[in-house]
Amino acid sequence: MALPNGPVWLDRPDVVIPRALRTYLGINEGRQNRLCLAWSINNGHLDRFMLTVRALETVIGSKDVRFCRIAFDPHQFHAFVLCPTHEMAMLLRGASDEVGNDRIFFNYVLRVTVPPFGDDVDQHLRTMRLM
């Protein structure tokens, strides 16, 4: 699968994020200025979290990874990285790193939306009946 060229792949204008991940990251729906999306063409790896950490070590430095909050979305096979500053998010924007046989790409997230109640993970009627 070939990647398109150009700056269109540096930013993600609208990203749907489950409520649980949004709560963990401490972000609200709407415009973002410190959030990045880590993704890969290969979705076969189970430990996407550690691949993201390894890629962050290379791009921003191992001492600065501790300041980032990382949330893995197992249903979409990508991770969200909440950076401590806008400058660090801009450093990740468009960056990529090869980890093993995989390449992790980072995109800057412009806006976050929440899926409808019935489409969200753990926000469906069966779960509500258990509560």
Does 88 reside within a domain?
Answer: yes
Q: Is 2 a domain residue?
A: no
Q: What is the pLDDT of residues 70-91, one digit of tens each?
A: 999 888 888 999 999 999 999 9
The reply to whether 116 falls in a domain is yes
Best CA proximity match to 81, nearest among 4, 12, 7: 12
| CATH number of the structural domain spanning residue 80 | 3.30.70
From residue 92, alpha-carbon distances to 53, 55, 126, 128 in Å are 13, 10, 38, 38
Task: Give the model confidence (pLDDT) of 14-31 as tens digits.
Answer: 999 988 899 999 999 999
CB distance 79 to 71 below 8 Å: yes
Tally of helices (H runs) and strands (E runs) in the chain: 4, 9
Q: Is residue 21 part of a domain?
A: yes
Query: What is the pLDDT at residue 115?
Result: 84
75 in a structural domain: yes
What is the reported pLDDT for 107? 96
Count: domains in the chain: 1
Range of the domain at 18: 9-130
Whether the predicted pLDDT of 128 surpasses 80: no
Please report whether residue 96 resides in a domain: yes
- pLDDT of 105 strictly over 90: yes
Nearest-angstrom CA–CA distance, 67 and 101: 27
- What percentage of the chain has pLDDT greater than the value 90? 60
CA distances from 24 to 31, 73, 83, 111 (A): 17, 12, 14, 17
Q: Is the pLDDT of residue 129 over 80?
A: no
The more confident residue out of 116 and 15 is 15
Residue 3 lies in a domain: no
